[in-house]
Amino acid sequence: MEQMINPAAASGAAPADVIKDVTMETFQQDVLEASMTTPVIVDFWATWCGPCKQLTPTLEKVVLEAGGAVILAKIDIDQNQALAQQMRIQSVPTVYGFVGGKPVDAFQGAQPESQVKAFVDKLAEAAGTTQSDPLADALGQAKELLVAEEFEGAAGIYGQVVSHAPDNIDGLGGLARALVGMGELDQASEILAQVPEDQADHPDVAAAQVAIELARQSAAVGDLTPLEAAVAADPKNHQARLDLAVGLFGADRREEAIDHLVESMKIDRTWNE
């Protein structure tokens, strides 16, 4: 399968590309999403921290020498206290290594350059073994977020997939579904317009298309109990599923609505043609 491109490694990235100051607002994009394609070293530091003044320059030196194999994200804990609390930072410097959207290694305190280099090499090696197919890994993580109804996070990762692989049908379909979940119906329609006609029956694409139509019909919502009972009694009752999906959209239960649409298509793709 086509590999997602590592822009830094491919072009001899400049320092601005591989060393970044990260905040609570950019953590999702610059760490979690970025680590789907390139390992990210996160340096939690503070201006008053003596050991930080020794470690951070060493990290920067080693990362630059790595030539884009890793990215360094620097986080000032005093400026990002909520993020530091979420990451349970007890002391600084604390350094995490992220691969595939998850922390895989860490250390605390100042370290000599040899140890820092070993940490970077280990992280790059871990990325090589755990991300043999970064595109598939990214799609998997995005799907998990979509199922969990974390639509913004899913849209961010699907967007990265599509930027690297514009014709990837899983990326296009997933992005459209995530945008529908966010209520961005016009944007979802624009994404679906990029889907080739012969791929229109892809489950995510078809579900997103119908979901857009349903979302625009679901202004009034009544009691869903009878419809839920009808579907439970007869899972192949497509009309009941459709009516239930409309009601669920109106109740802002978008993921459940989409699930019912996908299930209907699995049972009978020719229904309602």
Residue type (1 letter), 142 = A
Q: Would you call 52 a catalytic residue per the annotation?
A: yes
Task: Fold for 7-132, please state it.
Answer: Glutaredoxin (3.40.30)
Domain range annotation of the chain: 7-132, 155-267
Interatomic CA distance for residues 269 and 273, integer angstroms: 9
Which of the four pLDDT bands, split at 50, 70 and 90, describes residue 21? very high
pLDDT at 132 over 70: no
Region of poorest pLDDT, from 11-15, 61-65, 180-184, 207-211: 11-15
Per residue in 37-55, pLDDT (tens digit) is 889 999 999 999 999 999 9
Catalytic pick among 36, 40, 41, 52: 52
How wide is the angle at C-alpha 152 spanned by C-alphas 208 and 146, nearest 5°?
Answer: 55
Q: What is the dihedral of CA 108, 157, 100, 62, to 10 degrees?
A: -50
Per residue in 67-126, pLDDT (tens digit) is 888 999 999 999 999 999 999 999 999 999 998 888 989 999 999 999 999 999 899 887
**Structure-model confidence comparison of residues 19 and 225, the more confident one:** 19
Catalytic pick among 40, 41, 42, 49: 49
Interatomic CA distance for residues 221 and 254, integer angstroms: 13
Per residue in 170-229, pLDDT (tens digit) is 999 999 999 988 889 899 999 999 998 888 888 888 888 877 877 676 655 567 888 889
Which of the four pLDDT bands, split at 50, 70 and 90, describes residue 11? very low
Residues 221 and 272: beta-carbon distance below 8 Å: no
Residues whose CB is less than 8 angstroms from the CB of residue 219 and which lie 6 or more positions away in sequence, other chains included? 250
Q: And the tokens for 210?
A: 């119908």
**Structure-model confidence comparison of residues 269 and 142, the more confident one:** 142
Per residue in 225-266, pLDDT (tens digit) is 888 898 899 988 888 888 888 778 767 677 788 888 788 777
Total-model pTM: 0.47
Residue 51, Cβ neighbours under 10 Å: how many? 15
pLDDT at site 270: 55
pLDDT at site 8: 38
Q: Would you call 177 a catalytic residue per the annotation?
A: no
